[in-house]
Structure 1
Amino acid sequence: MREKVMEKMKLKYLEKMAELYPTMAEASTEIINLQSILNLPKGTEHFITDIHGEYEAFSHVLKNGSGSIRRKIDTVFGHTMNKQEKKSLATLIYYPKEKIGLIKKQETDMEEWYKITLYRLIEVCKKAASKYTRSKVRKALPKDFAYVIEELITERWDITDKESYYEQIICTIIDIGRAEEFIIALSELIQRLVVDHLHILGDIYDRGPAPHRIMDKLETYHSLDVQWGNHDILWMGAAAGQECCIATVIRICARYGNLDILEDGYGINLLPLATFALTYYKDDACQCFKIKGNHQLNPVEQDLNMKMHKAISIIQFKLEGQLLMRRREFGMADRALLDDIDYSEGTIRLKGKEYKLLDSYFPTIDAENPYELSREEKEVVERLVSAFVSCEKLQNHIQFLLKKGSMYKIFNGNLLYHGCIPMNEDGSLKEVQIYEKSYRGKALYDVLECYVRKAFMARDGKEKERGKDMLWYIWTSPNSPLFGKNKMATFERYFLAEKETHQEIKNPYYNFLESEEIAERIFEEFQVKGEGRHIVNGHVPVHHTSGESPIKCKGKILVIDGGFSRAYQKETGIAGYTLIYNSWGMILAAHEPFTSTQDAITKESDILSDSILVKRVTERKNVGATDTGAKLKERIAELKELLDAYRNGLLVEKL
């Protein structure tokens, strides 16, 4: 009986396929096409993490493909171009419009420059396009020049005098005054073709000045996925209307002098908070709430920023206290600290020890009920929640993160995630309670992702609220895979001088990064199969200056925190690492700190400082050995079954 049902279902599926391929000829052609794709080299994957709002540095790394364009130029021109010429060509490809503007001021014979440059760009473009089918390249071509570019990068065996044919096209482009636009189009096409797929391993938001611009850029990128970082989750919580997340987002923006992200980038009105801060902290110097980083604020702006910083911090601590009392199951009640303060003495008792507060001016805190918001604070919070929830641009960005993102991803034999796998001291997977049940390893990631989506999609009000609170939990809980420390010492860093109170102890996971046994345990837990598998891990900066390597566990674990955040660069000594995985293997790119886009254009300074070969294969990896290849093989098998159905008379061709 079951076999008959299965046969019936199979026939129905083949009938559906027959609608797409109504003849044996069409099915056969598709099999040939798919089989040819399997033999092409695999596309280049680009891994970037921990961008932290640094748009200019991120944009540059995206443009240069972490050195992929430079390597392509070296391959094409070898010793026929000198180092400076290659550097200039690379810069042109990164910033074509801006570079042409500079060249026009320097060159006396622009027509000759156009001709030489077009020939060079065409050769690089040919090389970049060579690993794709004509169909895929055609889809990537800029609309205005699609036909001409296809002619120039496609070998034409039917033309005897190819050189003359191509020269005539190029001369015509120059004669009609379209050379500049054509150079820009070719450069952008090369950028597009050099990287086939982009992986963002979390933390797009916070610290840097322009996460909204990064999100705008990602929304237009041709192929990518995102593994959420704890800072992304925080902004997702804010967009969902979770009050603690909203307060924390504003506090971090204030701390790094980036309130204009909210006001100008997202159009969120902070006037109610500013008015409240000026009223209650008018005569408070707010010295514990100084702005981090180098910001060109005038004294009045700086003073207001510090007052708003303190005001929203106190609101955050109150809201978090309320949440921790309401969600006792989170097991984080010890992080509600406002009722540990002796307000008359200006001290706090932590773990049996008394500490003097650096700031004891709390005009809105009722010592008898420290977590209760004042009437004015409630009004501020209500207006902020309304602003975040109704912000169309923010909601669009967060919907994009939901669509393209996940807690982890398995892609071409690599396990990608931000943070850590929560573990016990002995290296075993830690059991974590999420509401009424306990989870560990992969199951923990899966249930947390489920609650992230419930915060936005659930129709059941209770489940939606659980999801919203879980977003805050993922941001800051010691048991969160995306945080991975015993506490987030925000309060202590503001109010206590003693460094011992600032210490945040990492999850034991980080003690096992060199353990092959633990790496294999993680692969098994997440069902990552095959040889040559890797864990690609974001979140923790690699201390390059102290000799730490991003390659762990004999290459099985790669820690690639991009170090884009300027706040980390004194600590790490570089701007971190990105990863390239092409058909020949894996290359880690170590980056120097990025100065400015202007320097990149005028001084032709690139930020790639070194390349570290992680793995190289002797035989080039083709599409057939990838996840895409596995799907294509399934499709080929289905098409062969369709052919058999036609041949055996089960289906009739629609001629």
Structure 2
Amino acid sequence: MDNDKLKFLQLLSKSFPSIAATSTEIINLKAILNLPKGTEHFLTDIHGEYKAFNHVLRNGSGVIRDKIDDIYGDTLEENLKKQLATVIYYPEAKINLIQKTTDDMKSWYKITILRLIEVCRIVSSKYTDSKVRKSLPKDFAYIIQELLHEKYSEDKKDYVKNIIDTIIELDMSKEFIVAMSELIQRLTIDVLHIVGDIYDRGPQPHLIVDKLMQHHNVDIQWGNHDMLWMTAASGQKCAIANVIRISSRYSNTDILEDVYGINMLPLARFALNTYANDPCTSFIPKEAKDSDISLMAKIHKAISIIQFKIEGQVIKNNPKFKMEDRLLLDKIDYSRGVVTINGKEYPMTDTNFPTIDPKDPYKLTEEEEEILEKLKQSFIHSEKLQRHTKFLFSKGGMFLKYNSNLLFHGCIPVDKNGEFTEVELFGKKLSGKKYLEELDRVCREGYFNKTDKQMKEICMDIMWYLWCGENSPLFGKDAMKTFERYFTTDKELHKENKNPYYSLYENQEFINKIFGEFGLDPKKSHIINGHMPVKEKRGESPIKANNKLIVIDGGFSKAYQKETGLAGYTLIYNSYGLKLVSHQPFEDVNTAIANCIDIHSSTRVIKRVLERKKVKDTDVGENIQKQIDDLYELLNAYKRGFIKVNN
């Protein structure tokens, strides 16, 4: 036997020290291969909308309600099915309401527990007993395990009844129902995929990250807004200015101050003093309270000017970024109030720039330098922000191949002919998959490298480029026209041209080319995208290239819902195939709980398989098969005497 193989099998024998132990594990793993594949749940572009995200996560995009319908059909009244679903989504809050309106809580508890057991039995049926056991809540693990495995035979009828009666007698019903409901939520979705853009616009991205950190199996494909926050957490000043600008634009600076502990006082004081008599009309925030508008507009303008200055410095220091068209502060005629863009003059909507020196427009004033440095220290020393950022790095990446699906947030940069764009990084010209892999590595070095300051700065600048650069796979446009939107009224100047990827992604040959680049089978693979909201109300379809590509950004962010006509898509991939779920806006949790109102969703089947997919058809199954092959070799080594059996 090969010496390296023998060493490997000797190590494996420590876990399986006998023929019996090895055989048992082979039997177990081969059985797992024939279970139905777990359900995958895909969400994207959540943009801080925690309430809608939380509800969709709790109801599994309608999967739980489907299970209830499957179990009870017409045998249970519609209002009782809705009530049961709401109990599973929000158990504690719903019980509190029911206690106020129901006289016989004992009967309600007994019926509800029995129904929850039935639902839990169905959602757990596709998993091994071992996996279900590991998912059980600690306090009720033994009881739930007993109830799930009993079939209410005549012999065990009193046994089951006594368990439930005792739970009620000991006043543990509420706690037990909460535990059962959370278990059902967990078992309904096996894997959660977040295809980018957790941050910005909405008010509670931090709660989304907190929720994801508690999830049992989640992965994240970075979006450009996530990358912006990760870059800011690394200490890159352009990213810090952008994060604050966007937060002030959407009146969400409390996220910075109250959640992440960023000291905004020096900036606020500076803004009030510098723009005391300036109405800052171009910087009026969205959805601000009347009392906050004036201050927020001043902060918004102050940080925007700082942003344009510091970005200009980074662009000049990185000529390979080819972003010279973003250098516009030196194109302003400050005496006449016009800016020259593409050789043409445009009147500016705002001409009050007290901190800009026309002779050196990209130079920060001493006070701006001091403020920006203080903000940087706040960002890099924010314990919660750093914890969230490390989580995004540990669970995230530029792309993911999973069960024949390719997940990435934005695009694969290509030219108008569909050829992968070559981009130079550290002296190497890269494109396609290798380009994304190197960007992934660079981002990690930009955050984690604490010793080589010069290399860290270079990597952090590339991370910022991923927010807004032309060849960024996370951004996917030729330029970010922030300056033009603030200071000019010409709509043509505001246009941000999409990468040719977005005009080619209806083409099946082009999509097949991407599959080939990433080593995927074109016959059974899909690309799953976010980033570009699908304007379904204008007739645009989220399904492209004959079902090969699915864009699942349908407008979770309220800012986009007028354009999309929806409040987001989610994608479900279970053992029966792929389903796209479109959601209507979710307004109020309390009303949903009180009236058993779910998000109104509609489902369309993208792909239904003729033969139900099993674990053996997945990436997990492929890894299990490799383990089985290794165990067969170990078994052979035992039988042939190469390794001593340890009895």
Q: Normalising to structure 2: TM-score of the pair?
A: 0.98
Instruction: Find the counterpart in structure 1 of residue 9 from structure 2.
Output: 14
Question: 1:160 and 1:135 mapped to 2: Cα distance?
Answer: 27
Does residue 253 (structure 1) correspond to residue 247 (structure 2)? The answer is yes
Question: 2:16 and 2:481 mapped to 1: Cα distance?
Answer: 61
Instruction: Find the counterpart in structure 1 of residue 221 from structure 2.
Output: 227
Question: 2:325 and 2:548 mapped to 1: Cα distance?
Answer: 37
Instruction: Find the counterpart in structure 1 of residue 544 from structure 2.
Output: 552
Instruction: Find the counterpart in structure 2 of residue 386 from structure 1.
Output: 377
Q: Which amino acid aligns with 2:196?
A: G
Question: 2:594 and 2:489 mapped to 1: Cα distance?
Answer: 45
Question: 1:566 and 1:645 mapped to 2: Cα distance?
Answer: 62
Q: CA deviation at 1:435?
A: 4.4
Q: What CA deviation, in whole Å up to 9, does each residue of 1:235-271 have, x standing for no partner?
A: 0100000000000000000000000000011111111
- For the residue of structure 2 that corresponds to 1:385, the secondary structure is helix
Q: Mean Cα displacement is larger for which, 227-236 or 175-184?
A: 175-184
Q: CA deviation at 1:648?
A: 0.6
Q: Is the 8 A contact 2:512 2:522 kept in 1?
A: no
The match for 1:523 among 507, 515, 539 is 515
Q: What CA deviation, in whole Å up to 9, does each residue of 1:155-174 have, x standing for no partner?
A: 469x6523322122111111
Q: Is the 8 A contact 1:51 1:562 kept in 2?
A: no
Question: 1:617 and 1:495 mapped to 2: Cα distance?
Answer: 53
Instruction: Find the counterpart in structure 1 of residue 304 from structure 2.
Output: 313
Show structure 1 runs of 4+ deviating over 6 A.
none
Question: 1:36 and 1:327 mapped to 2: Cα distance?
Answer: 56
Does residue 84 (structure 1) correspond to residue 76 (structure 2)? The answer is no
**What are the equivalent positions in structure 2 for 1:425-574 lying under 5 Å apart?**
425-458=416-449, 459-529=451-521, 531-574=523-566
Q: Mean Cα displacement is larger for which, 230-239 or 607-616?
A: 607-616
Q: Which amino acid aligns with 1:280?
A: T
Q: Which amino acid aligns with 1:486?
A: D
Q: CA deviation at 1:432?
A: 2.1
- For the residue of structure 2 that corresponds to 1:467, the secondary structure is helix
Q: Which amino acid aligns with 1:609?
A: S
Q: CA deviation at 1:317?
A: 0.2
Instruction: Find the counterpart in structure 2 of residue 242 from structure 1.
Output: 236
Instruction: Find the counterpart in structure 1 of residue 274 from structure 2.
Output: 280
Q: Which amino acid aligns with 1:224?
A: V
Q: Which amino acid aligns with 1:207?
A: R
- For the residue of structure 2 that corresponds to 1:170, the secondary structure is helix
Question: 1:616 and 1:78 mapped to 2: Cα distance?
Answer: 22
Question: 1:244 and 1:199 mapped to 2: Cα distance?
Answer: 29
Q: CA deviation at 1:462?
A: 2.6
Q: Is the 8 A contact 1:542 1:576 kept in 2?
A: no
Q: What CA deviation, in whole Å up to 9, does each residue of 1:94-136 have, x standing for no partner?
A: 1111111111112121111111111111100000110111111
Question: 1:424 and 1:284 mapped to 2: Cα distance?
Answer: 44
Question: 1:381 and 1:492 mapped to 2: Cα distance?
Answer: 24
Q: What CA deviation, in whole Å up to 9, does each residue of 1:478-505 have, x standing for no partner?
A: 1111101111010111111111110111
Q: CA deviation at 1:434?
A: 2.9
Q: Mean Cα displacement is larger for which, 69-78 or 79-88?
A: 79-88
Does residue 419 (structure 1) correspond to residue 410 (structure 2)? The answer is yes
Instruction: Find the counterpart in structure 2 of residue 579 from structure 1.
Output: 571
Question: 1:616 and 1:108 mapped to 2: Cα distance?
Answer: 47
Question: 1:82 and 1:428 mapped to 2: Cα distance?
Answer: 57
Question: 1:530 and 1:571 mapped to 2: Cα distance?
Answer: 32
Q: CA deviation at 1:562?
A: 4.4
Q: Structure 1 stretches of 5 or more lacking a match?
A: none
- For the residue of structure 1 that corresponds to 2:417, the secondary structure is coil
Question: 1:168 and 1:139 mapped to 2: Cα distance?
Answer: 25
Question: 2:526 and 2:578 mapped to 1: Cα distance?
Answer: 10
Q: Give the fraction of aligned pairs with identical amino acids, expressed as a percent.
A: 54
The match for 2:124 among 122, 129, 132 is 129
The match for 1:37 among 32, 35, 39 is 32
Q: Which amino acid aligns with 2:574?
A: N
The match for 1:65 among 60, 67, 83 is 60
Q: Structure 2 stretches of 5 or more lacking a match?
A: none
Q: Mean Cα displacement is larger for which, 433-442 or 24-33?
A: 433-442
Question: 2:413 and 2:426 mapped to 1: Cα distance?
Answer: 17
Question: 2:538 and 2:475 mapped to 1: Cα distance?
Answer: 24
Q: Is the 8 A contact 1:575 1:591 kept in 2?
A: yes
- For the residue of structure 2 that corresponds to 1:651, the secondary structure is coil
- For the residue of structure 2 that corresponds to 1:613, the secondary structure is strand
The match for 1:633 among 614, 625, 647 is 625
- For the residue of structure 2 that corresponds to 1:43, the secondary structure is coil
Q: What CA deviation, in whole Å up to 9, does each residue of 1:518-543 have, x standing for no partner?
A: 01000001111374211011111111
Instruction: Find the counterpart in structure 1 of residue 169 from structure 2.
Output: 175
Question: 1:44 and 1:250 mapped to 2: Cα distance?
Answer: 38
Question: 2:637 and 2:46 mapped to 1: Cα distance?
Answer: 52
Instruction: Find the counterpart in structure 2 of residue 398 from structure 1.
Output: 389
Does residue 112 (structure 1) correspond to residue 107 (structure 2)? The answer is yes
**What are the equivalent positions in structure 2 for 1:252-271 lying under 5 Å apart?**
252-271=246-265
**What are the equivalent positions in structure 2 for 1:346-357 lying under 5 Å apart?**
346-357=337-348
Question: 1:521 and 1:100 mapped to 2: Cα distance?
Answer: 53
Q: Mean Cα displacement is larger for which, 613-622 or 366-375?
A: 613-622
Q: CA deviation at 1:303?
A: 1.1
Q: Mean Cα displacement is larger for which, 79-88 or 251-260?
A: 79-88
- For the residue of structure 2 that corresponds to 1:427, the secondary structure is coil
Question: 1:560 and 1:633 mapped to 2: Cα distance?
Answer: 32
Does residue 74 (structure 1) correspond to residue 65 (structure 2)? The answer is no
Q: What CA deviation, in whole Å up to 9, does each residue of 1:591-621 have, x standing for no partner?
A: 0011121222123222242001111112211
- For the residue of structure 2 that corresponds to 1:580, the secondary structure is strand
Question: 2:281 and 2:359 mapped to 1: Cα distance?
Answer: 26
Q: CA deviation at 1:91?
A: 1.1
Instruction: Find the counterpart in structure 2 of residue 99 from structure 1.
Output: 94
Question: 1:448 and 1:480 mapped to 2: Cα distance?
Answer: 9
Question: 1:357 and 1:636 mapped to 2: Cα distance?
Answer: 69
Question: 2:597 and 2:277 mapped to 1: Cα distance?
Answer: 47
- For the residue of structure 2 that corresponds to 1:79, the secondary structure is helix
Q: Is the 8 A contact 1:23 1:653 kept in 2?
A: yes
- For the residue of structure 2 that corresponds to 1:433, the secondary structure is strand
Q: CA deviation at 1:82?
A: 2.5
Question: 1:422 and 1:369 mapped to 2: Cα distance?
Answer: 35
Q: Which amino acid aligns with 1:48?
A: L
Give the alignment's Cα RMSD to 1 decimal.
1.2
Question: 2:59 and 2:431 mapped to 1: Cα distance?
Answer: 39
Question: 1:434 and 1:51 mapped to 2: Cα distance?
Answer: 31
- For the residue of structure 1 that corresponds to 2:470, the secondary structure is coil
Would you say how many aligned residue pairs link Structure 1 and Structure 2? Answer: 646
Question: 1:347 and 1:623 mapped to 2: Cα distance?
Answer: 64
**What are the equivalent positions in structure 2 for 1:606-625 lying under 5 Å apart?**
606-625=598-617
Q: Which amino acid aligns with 1:148?
A: I
Q: Is the 8 A contact 2:554 2:566 kept in 1?
A: no
Q: CA deviation at 1:439?
A: 1.5
